[in-house]
Structure 1
Amino acid sequence: MQKYVLYAVMITSFIGSMVGSGINVALPSIGREFDAMTGDLSWVAAAYLFGSAIFNLPLGKAADILGRKRLYKIGIVMFSVTLLIAGFATSVDFLMDIRFLQGGLMAMVFGPGMAVLASVFDKKERGRILGYQTASVYVGLTCGPALGGLICEYLGWRWFFFLTGTVAASGLIFMLRVKEEWYGDRGAPFDFKGSLCYMITIPLILYGFSKITDALGIYLFIAGLAALALFIYVERQSQHPILDVSLFIGNRVFTCSNLAAMLHYAATFAISFLVSMYLQVICGLSATVAGGIILLQFFMMATLSPKAGALSDKIDPGIVASVGMAINSVGLFALSWLHRDSSLILVGLILMIIGIGFALFSSPNNNAILGACQPKFYGTASSLLATMRLIGQAFSMAIVTIVMDVNSVQSVTGADNDALLGAIQIIFKIFSIICLFGILASLARKKKEGTASL
């Protein structure tokens, strides 16, 4: 049973990440076919992240109530179907809508999938298993642009959805072999009030922060913070909340691990985008060469994640994750000193170092989060972790947008190279500082995992 669960979760983790990253290379072809504006195309990519972030917690709680395996299987089927439907899209607006739905359905798969993994494997090997799952995510992120490019070039962009939908459906074959079911709050009433507050809070905060340089963005962000306060109040009053606030009270491991996850992704998600801009626009390299150099980081991440996860089974996960965050902070600061004539070997080595730090952080941090709560909270904890990741990713790209605007970077054709290079250096310095705060959050955990407050 264990191996079937692992295979299913690894497949869906790979496909979910690939669908998120691979769509970027298909956007030019989609834009030409539908004569779409750049802004509309960016929302085709962003809608997937928004859908996932908005539905993560509500669907994670639904899995605890209805059965994690049951919701996971339903999610796989519906996710695969929407991928196939996307291949028949007749307009960019339809594609945006279906991508938003795909993100929501992926939330139906990711959180329950990790919760099932934590349920079927013994605590002593949980870190290693979560390492395999994390490696699958990284492989998907890595292969997405490369495989997506090949598919779009030789078969057309529609086949990107047809093929990924078919592979995603194969995960169901393995999960159908699993007979046991797992619950966290079986038969409990669903928290509709809390879900509504949460689903209003997330888009207000994310979109508001992305437009924080405008008055409207500031108002939306403040409204999002107010909605967050209301969400916390509603959850404290609910007997069956989608997010049990008691998970955070007196449980520094859980609280600090989630905060560290958000800060880590805020500091690292935009690395590939910025390095790609540096290599192609500043250094004048081809997309193929730039992609090969960036691949070094993901290679280290995918290779070492299972080993780092296994290490966290033997050593306090908080210590391993803190070391990884510290390595990333050093690597990000090193990237902030890149100039026009920097050695490509040096760039590759820095990215490999960051890949090592990333691997040392992610799997152990995931292990620490699940180890800091009781099994009945695995669904909620997994969904919350996914939410922290997506919020961090959104903040990372928002920081890039803000700094680019402040530095008056208007073009990536070569006309604004000095301003672009200056912006990239500033952004990496900001990211290294964010990583320092992440280290503090990571070190603030107790030395031993505990659930005394639960």
Structure 2
Amino acid sequence: MINTSKDEQTSFTATLWVIAAVQFLTPFMFSAIGVALPAIGKEFSSGAVQLGLIEMVYILGVALLLLPAGRYADIYGRKKIFFSGTILITLATFALAFAPTVNLLIMFRFIQGIGAALITSTSFAILNSVCPPQERGRAMGIVVSCVYLGISAGPTLAGLMIDYLGWRWIFLSAVPVELTILIFAVIRLKGEWAESAGESFDWFGSAMYMIALSGIIIGVLEAQHLAMAKWFGLAGLFLIILFFIYENSIAHPILPLKKIVNNKVFALSNLATWLNYAASFGVTFFFSLYLQIIRGVPPKITGFILIIQPLLQAVCAPVAGRMADKYSPAPIATFGMGMCSLGLAGCIFISDVSSYFHLFSILCIMGIGFGFFSTPNSTAIMASIEKKDYGMASSMIATMRTCGMLTAMTLITALLSFYLGDQAVTAVTGPDFLQTMHTAMVVFTLLSIVGIFLSMARTTKGSDQR
């Protein structure tokens, strides 16, 4: 059994910057590839399905391993899993840079997603294992800020590299950074963290969870391209219900439902995470199409406009983190959720002649809201559970983010299908697209308002465990 409480030699500062660096790279790899898809398709003469798979398999690789990896890390050591993920993502990134065929590119992309899952499931857990309680908000703010910087830098830097160097440089440029992080982590990260050592790992539940989630993700993301997609989705939903029943019946589950239900702050904070991402994720999607197709804004200018939101998120996240160290994090997160609701409500009134001030105001409000929600909410989650469950909690935060994104994508796909059918989004179908966006924003605003009430509910007397 590993006694992590004696690892006093661990450098909190070194750990913080290692975690921050990898949390920049993983979303960067996710957001950058979207810009490169046309160039990749041209080089390999790939169809829409293959290009869609390049994005889908990364999400699949991340989502499948999050919960199992977090629980495994709690038992056998978070640093081991973190190192494994860093090595795997480095090798996969290098292989992607030299992929000779689109099928190999898809395979390496899946492996890269697995590596990202191993890193994501342990990052917050390691950070909170070495972080003094009074510094938790500041540390989480720095890491969350790096996540948003990765999201915002991805499309911009990828666009420049594609124009001047080629799409493969998106991956080539990341390899030296990943190697530097790995070497620094090996040298500076001391000790190990495995407070659940000695407990059994739920292999059967993990397999059931991964199969169920695969079905759901395929059902959502491939609904327009695969005839059997809806059956995959329904089978996945049925199996996930069986998974919940099974997990509730065993001693050491990967998802401790009883513990989650009995922890009001943890349960409501994770539900708020899901609703916030479900409500907010679609803004960038709709704004990208609206600016380019309805308003005729060039792609590069569109990218610079959309970068406003994540940049403000990156600025606000550390500020919110410092506030969460001094005050209860739940009300700060609730304020952030309220700002997001305000921004989403503003999207309902966008027309084909809306002023750019209107659009910029929405992006600014959303950026501030998201920045003030994410860090305090994550701080509240990590502060509400025991050290032995940090891996599970870190994985839950990331899983709720993914589930929120999938919820948004499902709703957007259904609405586009209802209003536009098989028609492409063009200037001719612009009115139908705007109707789709307005309907989606009404639903997203309502989801965000529900999230406000959930966030407020955890602040009742005795429920805010800091």
TM-score by length of 2: 0.93
For 2:88 and 2:228, the matched residues in 1 are separated by: 36
Does 1:127 find its partner at 2:127? no
Structure 1 position 449, deviation (Å): 5.1
Identity %: 36
Does 1:444 find its partner at 2:457? yes
Amino acid at match of 2:319: K
The equivalences for 1:329-408 within 5 A come to 329-408=341-420
Task: Please give the per-residue CA displacement for 1:167-213, whole angstroms capped at 9, x wherever unaligned.
Answer: 12222233221212111311433211110111022122333345779
Partner of 2:448: 435
Partner of 1:299: 311
Contact 2:81/2:122 (8 A) holds in 1 = yes
Structure 1 position 446, deviation (Å): 4.2
For 2:21 and 2:39, the matched residues in 1 are separated by: 27
Say which is worse superposed, 443-452 or 410-419, in terms of deviation.
443-452
Partner of 2:84: 74
Partner of 2:204: 193
The equivalences for 1:40-79 within 5 A come to 40-79=50-89
Q: Secondary structure at the match of 2:183?
A: helix
Amino acid at match of 1:330: L
For 1:319 and 1:449, the matched residues in 2 are separated by: 12
Total equivalences in the alignment? 452
Structure 1 position 99, deviation (Å): 1.1
The equivalences for 1:257-296 within 5 A come to 257-296=269-308
Pick closer, same or farther for the CA change 1:124–1:449 going to 2, 3 Å. Answer: farther
For 1:340 and 1:249, the matched residues in 2 are separated by: 46
Q: Secondary structure at the match of 2:173?
A: helix
The equivalences for 1:112-151 within 5 A come to 112-151=122-161
Pick closer, same or farther for the CA change 1:405–1:96 going to 2, 3 Å. Answer: same
For 2:215 and 2:163, the matched residues in 1 are separated by: 37
Task: Please give the per-residue CA displacement for 1:202-234, whole angstroms capped at 9, x wherever unaligned.
Answer: 122333345779995554444323212221222
Q: Where do 5+ consecutive residues of structure 1 fail to align?
A: none
Structure 1 position 310, deviation (Å): 1.4
Structure 1 position 376, deviation (Å): 0.6
Partner of 2:336: 324
Amino acid at match of 1:199: M
Structure 1 position 314, deviation (Å): 2.1
Partner of 2:47: 37
Partner of 1:417: 430
Amino acid at match of 2:209: Y
For 2:364 and 2:14, the matched residues in 1 are separated by: 32
Could you tell me which of 162, 175, 184 is aligned with 1:174? 184
Q: Where do 5+ consecutive residues of structure 2 fail to align?
A: 1-10
Partner of 1:184: 195
Structure 1 position 36, deviation (Å): 0.4
Contact 1:247/1:373 (8 A) holds in 2 = no
For 1:331 and 1:308, the matched residues in 2 are separated by: 19
Contact 2:156/2:304 (8 A) holds in 1 = no
Task: Please give the per-residue CA displacement for 1:394-429, whole angstroms capped at 9, x wherever unaligned.
Answer: 221221111111111622332211111221122111
Could you tell me which of 85, 101, 112 is aligned with 1:102? 112
For 2:232 and 2:16, the matched residues in 1 are separated by: 41
Pick closer, same or farther for the CA change 1:87–1:385 going to 2, 3 Å. Answer: same
Contact 1:252/1:446 (8 A) holds in 2 = no
Moved over 6 A (4+): 211-215
TM-score by length of 1: 0.95
Task: Please give the per-residue CA displacement for 1:265-285, whole angstroms capped at 9, x wherever unaligned.
Answer: 111112112111111111111
Could you tell me which of 212, 237, 252 is aligned with 2:249? 237
Amino acid at match of 2:251: Q
